[in-house]
Amino acid sequence: MLKIGLTGGIGSGKSTVAALLAERGAVVVDADRLAREAVAPGTPGLTAIAEEFGPGVLTEDGALDRAALASVVFADPAARARLDAIVHPRVRARAAELAAAAPPGSVVVQDVPLLVETGQAGSFDLVLVVETEAETRVARLVDRGLSAADARARIASQATDEQRRAVADVVLRNDGAPEELAAQVQRFWSERVEPATR
Ligand code: ADP
C-alpha cells in the first residue's frame, strides 16, 4: 500500500486533485467527510460535544448546530482545542480503519485540509501539496458561494504556503487551467506513484 497525504489551503484544488487521483484508481479518504460523520446524530462524538459545550450546540432534532458551535469556538482558541480533541482522534481512527480496509497494493489518498496544522505529515509515504495564489483561491471560493471576507478569513486561519511546502514531497501548482492541473497529476502518477507500487 502507498499512503499519500493530500493537502493545500482552502480553495487550492485538493478535492479536484483527489478526484483526478480517484480516476486513476486511488482509494480516496476525505477527512472533511469523516469529520461530519464523526459528529452525526447518534454518534459518541456528538454526545461528547454536547457534554463539553452544552445543549445549546444542538438543534431541536438533536443534530449538531454548526453555526452555534462555530460562534462558541470562534475567537476562543481553548474552546477550539477542546473541540479538536473530540473530533480529530475520531477522524484519524476512522481514516486508519478505511485505509486498512483497502485491498492490498492500493494507493490510498487521504485528503486532509489541516494535515500541516495537525502535524500528520509523518503518517504518509508521500505528502502532496496543492498550491494556488491566495487571490485566485478567493475568487474560486466566491464562485462557490462564500463571501470574499469569509474566504480571506479562512485562508488567514490556516497554515501558510511556506509551512505546507516545508513538509511537501511534491507540490502541484494550480494557478492555471484545469487541464494544466490534470497534466501535473498525470505526471505525479507516472513518476511517483506507479514506480512506488510496482
Ligand atoms: P479545495 O478542495 O482545496 O477547497 P476544490 O478542489 O474544491 O478546492 O477547488 C475550489 C474551487 O475551484 C472548486 O469550485 C473547483 O471546481 C475550482 N477549481 C479548481 N481548480 C481550478 C482551476 N484550475 N481553474 C478553475 N477553477 C478551479
pTM: 0.93
List pocket residues of ligand 1, CB cut-off 6 Å. Answer: 8, 10-16, 140, 144, 174, 177-178, 181
Tell me how far apart the alpha carbons of residues 47 and 100 are, in angstroms, rounded to a whole number.
27
Percent of the chain with pLDDT over 70: 100
Say if residue 191 is exposed, middle or buried (CB neighbours under 10 Å; 0-12, 13-18, 19+).
exposed
Ligand 1 centroid to residue 12 C-alpha, Å: 6
Cβ–Cβ under 8 Å, residues 17 and 112: no
Residue 124 and residue 110 in contact, taking contact as beta carbons nearer than 8 Å: yes
Beta bridge partners of 130: 8, 172
- Per domain, the residue ranges of the chain are 1-26+106-198, 33-104
Q: Ligand 1: which of 140, 144, 171, 179 to mutate, most ligand atoms within 8 Å of CB?
A: 140
pLDDT beyond 90 at 75: no
- pLDDT of 157-177, one tens digit each? 899 999 999 999 999 999 999
**Complete edge-to-edge strand list for the sheet that includes strand 2-8:** 27-30, 107-111, 2-8, 126-131, 170-173
Domains 1-26+106-198 and 33-104 alike in fold: yes
Residue 93 CA to ligand 1 centre (angstroms): 28
Ligand 1: nearest atom to the Cα of 16: 6
CATH entry, 1-26+106-198, from 3.40.50.300, 3.40.640.10, 2.60.420.10, 1.10.287.610: 3.40.50.300
Q: Alpha-carbon torsion 178, 140, 21, 195, what sign?
A: positive
The CA–CA distances, whole Å, from 6 to 1, 37, 44, 115 equal 16, 20, 28, 8
Paired residues of 6 in beta bridges:
111, 128
Give the pLDDT confidence score for residue 108 in this predicted structure.
98
- The pLDDT score that the predictor gives to residue 100 is 94
Confirm if 151 and 10 have CB atoms less than 8 A apart: yes
* pLDDT over 90 (residue 74): no
Q: What share of the chain is helix, strand, coil (3-state, %, to 5)?
A: 60, 15, 30
CATH of domain 33-104: 3.40.50.300
Question: Which of 6, 7, 12, 15 to probe ligand 1 with, by most ligand atoms within 8 A of CB?
Answer: 15
Q: Does 43 count as an annotated binding residue?
A: no
Please state, in angstroms and rounded to a whole number, the distance separating the CA atoms of residues 155 and 150: 9
Spacing, Cα 62 to ligand 1 middle (Å) = 33
CA distance 44 to 145: 32
Give the whole-angstrom CA distance, residue 188 versus residue 130: 12
**Nearest residue by C-alpha to atom 21 in ligand 1:** 178
In tens, the pLDDT along 89-98 reads: 999 999 999 9
- pLDDT for 117-146, tens place per residue? 999 999 999 999 999 999 999 999 999 999
